Amino acid sequence: MSKYIYKIFILVIVIIFQRFEGFSQNENEQIKKFEQVINYIDNNYVDSVDNEQIIKSAIVASLKELDPHSVYYDKDEIEDLNRGLKGSFVGVGITYDIINDTVLILSVINDGPSEKAGVLAGDRIIKVDNKLIAGKGLIDDDKLRDVLGGKKETEVVISVKREGVKDLKNIKIIRNKVPVNSINSYYKVTDDIAYVRLKRFSATSMTEFKKVVDELGLDGSKKLILDLRGNRGGYLYVSVRLLENFLKKKSLVLVTKGLHSPEKEYKTFFNAKLKNTDLVVLINESSASASEIVSGAIQDWDRGVIVGRRSYGKGLVQKPFYLNDGSMMRLTIAKYYTPSGRNIQKSYSDGQDKYNHEISDRLENGELMHKDSVKHIDSLKYYTLNNKRLIYGGGGIMPDIFVELDTLKYPIFYKEYLGEGKINEFAHLFVDKNRSFLRNNYKNFEKFDKKWTVSKKNIEDLILYLNKDEKNISELINELFTNKYVRNHLKALVAYDVFGENEFYRILNEEDATFNKAIEI
Q: Mind telling me the catalytic residues?
A: 289, 300, 314
**Ranges of H-type helices in 171-235:** 205-216
Sign of the four-CA dihedral 425, 430, 431, 435: positive
Alpha-carbon distance of 371 to 392, in angstroms, equals 14
Q: Give per-residue burial for 180-210: e unless 16+ CB within 10 Å, then b.
A: bbbbbbbbebeeebbbbbbbbbbbbbbebbe
Sign of the four-CA dihedral 10, 236, 311, 185: negative
Q: Three-state SS for 460?
A: helix
| CA angle, residues 319, 325, 326, in degrees to nearest 5 | 50
Amino acid making up residue 290 = A
Kindly report each contact of residues 196-199 with a partner whose C-beta sits within 8 Å and lies 24 or more positions away, as own/partner.
196/224, 196/225, 196/226, 196/227, 197/227, 197/229, 197/505, 198/226, 198/227, 198/228, 198/231, 198/242, 199/230, 199/231
Is-contact 160 191, C-beta < 8 A? Answer: no
Alpha-carbon distance of 186 to 432, in angstroms, equals 26
Q: Three-state SS for 395?
A: coil
Q: Three-state SS for 156?
A: strand
Closest C-alpha to 316, from 306, 328, 327, 331? 331
